[in-house]
Amino acid sequence: MKIAIHAFDGVTMFHLAVPQMVFDEVTRQGLADWQTVLFADREGSVRTAEGYVIGGVRGLGAAADADLVVVPSWIPDGREPGPALRKALLAAHGGGATIAGLCLGAIAVADLGLLDGRSAITHWHAVDDLARKHPSVDVEADVLYLDHGDVITSAGTASGIDACLHVVRTRLGAEAANKVARSLVVAPHREGGQAQFIERPVPQQEGNDPIAVATTWALEHLGEDLSVDRLAAAAHLSRRTFVRAFRATTGSTPAAWVRSRRLDEARLLLESTEIPVEQVAAHCGFGNAVTLRQNFAEAFGSTPSSYRKRFATTA
């Protein structure tokens, strides 16, 4: 199988290396004869974001006979693929090649029209940009990759490894993917999605704003009953006025906001302490570990215990 990987001036070495490492390992392990080549808008060399010059890069013709064409990232300014690259990628797709947009490369693939009416994923920093730019694309923010057979997209940065291992798994089977993963010392299939990596800052409001007063009070009482009536009382507003003002200020319902803040607090405790999950649940207002696990899995695609193993900062 031939894999053509698009390179461009300013691409990071990591993004460029991920598909080469995974797919070249297939050949190194003797699992199949897979060949990777780098191609760009013009033959010659590219300069990476780190300042290194990579030579031996082929021209757009390298994508013509590829079985898989990978756009491993994309230009930070978000420009659309130029006419020549667009033509080459669409021709490759029309000829039967699978097109993979990894990380921000998913936006370039969406620019081609290949994701219209389909689901897609990109780095969590850019999911809103992708959704605004391509409203016909169903952007899923909390998965690691999505495969439509002819088009693949992945979430941010290291999720490209997950997507490439998925390609190995679908083409050569689970045993081959596991062997490649072991050689690269990575998980053959990671649990959860990129939602567990997203930072969720608390919206800032003026201190004398009644909603700010209520949210500040709520953050100090997450383990207590935080019904709408109690929050409205903290804001010194009627229930109806509070709900309307809360949505206008935060863009969320009080219940959804409280749940998110409790989950944020749970993540912090899981990362920075060793207290049992049952105590984390009680401290954050979930009542018991079962309720915490249900909410945690729904929000982050992972269990509290798995999250702690991955992100714990305690010794």
In this prediction, residues 287-300 reach a mean pLDDT of 91
| Domain range annotation of the chain | 2-197, 210-311
Mapping DSSP to helix (H, G, I), strand (E, B) and coil, where does residue 175 land?
Answer: helix
CA dist 228 and 230 (Å) reads 6
Do 210-311 and 2-197 fall under one CATH topology?
Answer: no
pLDDT band of residue 313 (cuts 50, 70, 90) is low
CATH 2.40.160.40 fits 210-311, yes or no: no
CA dist 234 and 254 (Å) reads 13
Let me know: does 107 contact 130? Beta carbons within 8 Å: yes
In this prediction, residues 195-220 reach a mean pLDDT of 69
Choose the weakest-confidence range: 101-105, 178-182, 199-203, 246-250: 199-203
pLDDT band of residue 251 (cuts 50, 70, 90) is confident
Q: What percentage of the chain carries pLDDT values higher than 70? A: 92
Q: What percentage of the chain carries pLDDT values higher than 90? A: 68
pLDDT score at 123: 93
pLDDT score at 142: 75
pLDDT band of residue 300 (cuts 50, 70, 90) is confident
Q: What are phi and psi of 80, to 5 degrees?
A: -75, 155
In this prediction, residues 252-264 reach a mean pLDDT of 89
pLDDT score at 267: 85
The H or E element spanning position 6 is strand 2-6
In this prediction, residues 271-279 reach a mean pLDDT of 91
Q: What is the CATH number of domain 2-197?
A: 3.40.50.880
Token pair belonging to 146: 């999505």
pLDDT over 90 (residue 252): no
pLDDT over 80 (residue 207): no
- Among candidate residues 234, 232, 233, 256, the one with its CA nearest the CA of residue 244: 232
Rg for the chain, CA atoms, rounded: 23
pLDDT score at 189: 60
pLDDT digit string, tens, across residues 101-132? 999 999 999 999 999 999 999 998 899 999 99
Select the highest-mean-pLDDT range: 41-45, 153-157, 195-199: 41-45
pTM of the model: 0.66
DSSP bridge pairs for 100: 70, 152
CA dist 229 and 311 (Å) reads 36
pLDDT score at 46: 97
pLDDT digit string, tens, across residues 55-89? 999 999 999 999 999 999 999 888 999 999 999 99
pLDDT score at 194: 62
